[in-house]
Structure formats: structure tokens, C-alpha cells
Amino acid sequence: MSSSSSSLIDDLLHDPVLEADLKRQQKQIVFNDNFRHALAERRKALPPVETSFPEIPPDYVSADKFEEAGGAPWQTPDPSLPTLLALHQELVAFGKWLNATPLEKAERHGVVLDVRRITSALWPEAVVVEFGSSWTGLNLPDGDIDLAIQRLPGPNHVRENLKVLMNQFAKALHASNIATHIHVIDTARVPIVKFIDRRSGFSVDVAFGLQGVVTKSGEWVLANCKKMPQLKPLLMFLKLFLSIRGLSEPYKGGIGSYMLFTMLLCVLHLSDGARSPEHWRKASLGHILFEFFRLYSNDMNYKKLGLRPPNGASKQASLFPRENPSWAISIESPEDSSIDLGRGTFDYHHVLQAFDNAYLTICSGDRNGRSLLLVSGLLGQGRGFIDARAKLEKRLKAEPRPDVPTAGLKASSVAPEKGQLFFDDTSDSDSASDNTEESAVTPSEESTATDQPPKKIRRTVRLEDIGGWSDDEDD
């Protein structure tokens, strides 16, 4: 080191201005330490502050916990947080609120038991198996209950035999007085009997002719949720997002739970650079949801690409040929590569419009009060789904579930009428109305696409046309 450099350092070390500044910093450090200590001692001396909110149970959040604080029945985020981090915080709280309460779990179990009692009275050797979202626990509060009746008498692969059994089951449901809006749909790929539980308002789908392990897809979903816990709250939000827009029913051209899960899983498995699986394991729920809407509304080239879960995208030509590749989505089933999960989504153009509007809403950072979810582009400013759950909770608390009268129910005593059965009991309007959501769709989402595919029409035969009975008759 030169003598000139050494002299310069000595001058800096002994500079009176620097020395004065160092002394001030040392004094400030001592003052800060003393101040923090004094505050800590003061807090210890104060009596504990009572929180205005009851303690939150670990598995669910009741509908009235946070209404006054943030305008929503779940805890709304800190308004000072950036949009995507605030969205993460609210999605976590929203996911807890959507979890089934003990009362809802007990009621769903009661519906399943009722179906099992009726089935056992008709066919003692038959078994009722629960599957789908209600089995995995990924169902919405008002979600359907999916059941399958197996070990039925006669050949289960013969459609005519299934029709007879389905009509017997429908008439037994009617006689037990636990169901309303009973539909026998024997023309579907998987024949089902649909009905609404009279007490709870839950919609129930009972499948006939399903063989093997019907919970296989549910086990695959649960295994992936265990690996990536962020899947569950995102899936629950997206299911409600589509449900309130009427886009969650596959038979109406919408996206079912299983297909939606594969779409979400593919987002988390995209492996191009910054979007690696390792990246998504560290990302917030807000970032993943934002990327989901951006991918499927803007970035996805549906003409050239399809989805091959769990690994992400693949060239569309290598999956399934499409008549309308410009708007249709193609998804290879994880269970069977020959099945295209997106083959029936003829209303996907409306799904795309909803996704695009949600993407723009998140970009704008719009908030309804403190809530990011209760805005028109996401869950909507209406309270339909919130009020419906509150009504359900009130109704379930009012009285216990009655026992099912199965005495005298035998297959021979409920011989079917000729043709398809349809019961449409409108007397229980309260239960039916509780399942109706207020729309959160904006005018931009309601516009029709230029390449809109033809709509599918499902025909249902009424009782009057086949000489059957109506729900107005005495049992």
C-alpha cells in the first residue's frame, strides 16, 4: 500500500464528521433497544385483549365468522398486500370456509344411508358405493352426491334389464317420500337415476351398471392432492366459479370436477423454464390461479395443443382429432389414454370467456370492499351461494333426519310402468331454490362465440305421457 493511500485512510478514520455520525448511530441503537424493552414490559403489564371473533375450528369455518369485518363469511386479506399475495391469503381462508361442517357431513351420510336402506329392501345382495367429489371430500357445500349400485340382479351389461331395475328404484324412492324431482335417465352412457333429497336439497346421482372399482379416479385425485396441497383450495374455488355460471355440468357441455382437476394439475406440471414443478411448489395460490386463467384464456393454442396430464401439454394431433379445433379442448384421460375428457365440452367457448374475464379482473386488482373474490369477474357481488349455505345450515339444525320407511318395499311390489319415469314435485320449492346461485356473469361473458357449436338437447318423458303417477297422488 502506498504512503498516499495510507494517509487518505487515516484522514477518513479521523474525520470529525464521520466520527460524529458514528456516535449518533450508537446512541440511536441504544435508544431503540431501550424503547423496545419498555414496550415489551408495558405489554406484559396490560390485561389480555379479547378478540372479537370466536376461535376458528380447525376443519371448517362457520358462515357468520367474518361478515362484519370484511363483507364475506371468511377472513378477507390485509388491504395493504399486493394483489396476488392478498388473493393467496383469501383463497386459503375461503378454502377453510368451504370445508363441510360436521352437520353437513352427517346429513350427507344420512342421504347415503337412506339410499342403502331402500336398495337393500329391493335387492338384498346389492351394494351402494359412494364415489366422486363427495367421496374425496372435494365437493362444494351444495355439491352432488354420486352413488353406484352394484351386484344387481340380472345381467348388468344389458340395458333393458337396467331400465327395469332403475324404474323399480325410482318408484321405491317415490314411495319412501324422501325424494323429489326424480328423473330416470336410461339413455346416457352410464344410466343414472337423479333425484333431490327432500330434506337437505342435495342432488343425488345413482349410477346403474358401473362395475369394478368406481373410486379409482378419486384415489388418483387424492394422491395428487397429498403431493401438492395447494390443489385443493384452488380446485374448490374453480368449481364454485364455474358452478355459479352454469358451466360445471358435463351433460350441459361444461367442465366436470375430474376434467377441471386435470386442467389444474397440468398447470402445475408445465415444465418450461420458470414454470417448472419446483417453481409451482413455492408459488402462492394467487400466482397459480392467475397463471391458470392466463394459460387457458390467452396462452393455450387449442388448435395445435392438447393436455396430457400430469405432464402438461402435447401436440393436439397426437391426441384426438377434432372437428372444431379452434375452440375445443382436448384432454387425455389419466386412466385411459383412448378417452378424451374434453370431447363433450360443447359449451367451452363460454368457459373461455369466463376465464378471460377473470384474468382481466385479477390484472385490474379490483376489490369489493376488502374481498378480492367477491367481485363480478370472479365469484360475483351477489350472495347467492353464501345465503344458500346459511339456509341449509338453519334447515338442518331445525329437526333430525327422519327414518326411511322401507317396510313392504320389494322389487315385485314396485313393478315399473312402461317407459321412462319422471317426477317433478314442485311442492318443496324451498329446497330447490336453495341450490340456485345468483349469477356473477358480466355482459362480456354472455356474448356468443362466432364458431359456437350446436347445442345438445336432452329429452325427458313426463308421467302424463306414459300413464304413470304424479307426486300429487297419495302414497
- The answer to whether the beta carbons of residues 293 and 358 sit under 8 Å apart is yes
In a domain, 9, yes or no: no
Quote the CA–CA distance of 128 and 417 in Å, as a whole number: 24
Q: What is the mean predicted confidence (pLDDT) over 232-249?
A: 93
Long-range contacts, 41-47 (Cβ 8 Å, 24+): none
Round to whole Å and give the CA distance between 393 and 102.
10
Residue 324: which CATH number? 1.10.1410.10
Residues 354-383: pLDDT tens digits? 999 999 999 988 776 678 888 878 887 667
Q: How many domains does the chain have?
A: 1
Which three-class secondary structure state does DSSP give residue 392? helix
Is the residue at 82 inside a domain?
A: no
pLDDT band for 18, please (50, 70, 90 cuts).
low
Does 116 fall in a domain?
yes
User: Would you say residue 263 lies in a domain?
Assistant: yes
In a domain, 61, yes or no: no
In a domain, 7, yes or no: no
Structural domain span for residue 361:
102-466
**pLDDT surpasses 80 at 237:** yes
d(CA 325, CA 459): 28
State pLDDT tens for residues 289-340.
Answer: 999 999 999 888 888 888 888 665 555 545 555 555 556 788 888 888 888 8
Residue with more model confidence, 167 or 433: 167
Global confidence as pTM: 0.70
Which cell numbers in the block locate residue 90?
383469501
The answer to whether residue 25 is domain-embedded is no
Q: Which of 206, 180, 35 is nearest to 122 (CA)?
A: 206
